[in-house]
Chains A and B, each alone.
Chain A
Amino acid sequence: MTTSVARAARRNRWAVPALVLALVAVPFVLGTFEVSLATTALIFAVLAMSLDLLVGYTGLVSLGHAAFFGFGGYVAAYTAIHLTGNLLVVLPVVAAGTALLAVVLGFLALRTTGVYFLMLTLAFGQMLFGLAVKWTPVTGGSDGLAGVPAPFVGIGPMSYAFTGRVRFYYLVVVAVLALGWFLIRVVGSPFGHALVGIKDNEERLASLGYDTWRYKMAAYVLAGVVAGVVGALFVFFNRHAAPENLFWVVSGEVLLMVIIGGAGTMYGPALGAVLVRLFESYVSSYTDRWQTLLGLLFVAFVLFAPGGIVGVIRRRRNRGRAPG
């Protein structure tokens, strides 16, 4: 796996610089609508990558990833409204808060596997959604928390505010590159290989001396924290924390992005997220049946390309290389 990553990295020496250049260029060549679209697409790209750490690497199919995404957003909104919008304060608070939530939920959910894990994570997400709607004094009820100030980075007297779409877009680009780099390092590390070992054969991994429960918990917390941080960015983007961000539909959509893109790779789910966001944005302006169409697209992938987009690309490349 890493060897093939290293090989791919050598082959695609220009892939990362080209990606960075393209991301930097977006506000120069495209309009405000596209910049906003790119901002949310990038946020969902990292959200999908973080879910894939569980689904594609560890073999834990969660249908409750929105719990962390939405919770991180509420923590960010609450902190920004009542304390400060300084990201150097908000993001550590969000990370600590989602880590704590992940430990608590993981402690219960990680006792199960397979469809039970899926149902339990779904139930936790819906419980948080219910809580957000009901606990009006803190969460703003079904209106959510509005009036979130623009985030800024401040040290002492110096500060820089991310007002305006373009500045915020660049903030997201930096965050996405940093978190993407982080996740890619994680899956190529001994820890990442142990997660694949859990997916493949947890019993054997334990018999080699791995405390698999701890590894699963660590993966769950890591995935939760990354989801919480991009959830915070999403709330700053909208200047509003909405209960819908916790709703199971978001969890389902992210899972869809992972599977359409290709679970078990990091760039696949990112690609899947971007494509699904584009699809939603453009197709929904022509027809309000876009969710049905997205569902059909998903079914087509599961039936005809279970490895997702990445699987299709790989198969093509291998066929190209095969003799004759």
Chain B
Amino acid sequence: MDALRVEGLTRRFGGVVAVHRVSLDVAEGERRAIIGPNGAGKTTLFNLVAGKLSPSEGTIRYRDTDITGFAPHQRARLGIGRTFQRTNLFPSLSVCENIRLAVLAQTDRARRILVPVERFADVEDRVDELLDDFALAHRATTEVHELSYGEQRQLEIALALAGRPSLLLLDEPTAGMSPAETSSITEIIAGLPREVTLLVIEHDMEVVFTLADRISVLHHGEVIAEGTPVEVRDDPNVVEVYFGGAG
């Protein structure tokens, strides 16, 4: 069974066709990188899969469910987690409150109205675990706007992982990070359980080659190549549009 099956997906913005008849099959547990030049439609594709945008045409199936008409929160409840290309956090809450909000989302405790928010031991354990994994423990009570850019990016990913999604969409997880931060984030992503299906948009080819089982190349909204990292690297078409003939 495929974790994600996208068929004939098209999204227009006025006259611009950002995503054009894209079809993708991503197997359960597969790690797929989406690469392509700026403006290729990568983020738009994620927004369609996560439900932020609705497609002009086409369908999206998650496991055996047609989720094309589902709202973003319904997709999240089904196990689709995502990060945003532009950091997208809760600026008036502290780091640990941000993470707690994300952990609570996937439990029925989120709606409790008279219990103190930090009352659930299993939730607190998960919060601590994520703080440790992302080396944010010493920043737990810091407000988010005081974090460095790299720390904000780490938190961005921690929020997406909090609910243990089974399909994870990462939009340029290492963009703007220092080399040290990049390798630690890459290690965390590589260390995710193998059952987690991963879609990652990434410009850093080293990260792509470390993580990806397969690569899809997007150009002008269309998939122009798909295959293993080696196949894609040696595809003359891809070399032309993406590596600019430099490869």
Interface: A292 (CB within 8 A): no
Q: Of residues 97 to 151 in B, which have CB atoms within 8 Å of A's CB atoms?
A: 97, 100-102, 104-106, 109-118, 141
Contact flag A200-B73 (CB < 8 Å), given A189-B115, A191-B113, A208-B102: no
Whether A189 and B116, one on each chain, are in contact in the complex, defined by CB atoms closer than 8 angstroms, is yes
The residue of chain A having its C-beta at the shortest distance from the C-beta of B115 within the complex is A189
Whether A207 and B82, one on each chain, are in contact in the complex, defined by CB atoms closer than 8 angstroms, is yes
Interface: B237 (CB within 8 A): no
Bound CA–CA A208/B88 (angstroms): 12
> How many residues on chain A are close to B (CB under 8 Å)?
31
Q: Of residues 192 to 206 in A, which have CB atoms within 8 Å of B's CB atoms?
A: 192-194, 196-197, 199-201, 203-206
Partner of A193, one of B97, B114, B162: B97
Interface: B90 (CB within 8 A): yes
Contact flag A2-B117 (CB < 8 Å), given A193-B93, A209-B76, A209-B77: yes
Whether A192 and B101, one on each chain, are in contact in the complex, defined by CB atoms closer than 8 angstroms, is no
B226 CB → nearest A CB, Å:
27
Q: Give the most central of A2, A196, A197: most B CB within 10 Å.
A: A197
Residues of B within 8 A of A197 (CB): 90, 93, 101
Interface: A3 (CB within 8 A): yes
Bound CA–CA A192/B104 (angstroms): 12
Interface: A185 (CB within 8 A): yes
Residues of A within 8 A of B141 (CB): 3
Interface: B159 (CB within 8 A): yes
* Interface, chain B (partner A; CB < 8 A): 50, 52, 71-73, 76-77, 82, 84, 88-94, 97, 100-102, 104-106, 109-118, 141, 159, 162-163
Contact flag A190-B102 (CB < 8 Å), given A3-B94, A206-B73: no
B68 CB → nearest A CB, Å:
17
Bound CA–CA A8/B219 (angstroms): 55
The residue of chain B having its C-beta at the shortest distance from the C-beta of A204 within the complex is B88
Whether A2 and B90, one on each chain, are in contact in the complex, defined by CB atoms closer than 8 angstroms, is no
Partner of B113, one of A186, A196, A201: A186
Bound CA–CA A236/B211 (angstroms): 69
Residues of B within 8 A of A264 (CB): 92
Residues of A within 8 A of B113 (CB): 185-186, 189-192, 218, 222
Whether A208 and B163, one on each chain, are in contact in the complex, defined by CB atoms closer than 8 angstroms, is yes
Bound CA–CA A190/B109 (angstroms): 7
Residues of A within 8 A of B109 (CB): 190
Interface: A212 (CB within 8 A): yes
Contact flag A190-B104 (CB < 8 Å), given A200-B93, A201-B90: yes
A209 CB → nearest B CB, Å:
4
Whether A207 and B52, one on each chain, are in contact in the complex, defined by CB atoms closer than 8 angstroms, is yes
Bound CA–CA A194/B108 (angstroms): 13
Bound CA–CA A40/B69 (angstroms): 50
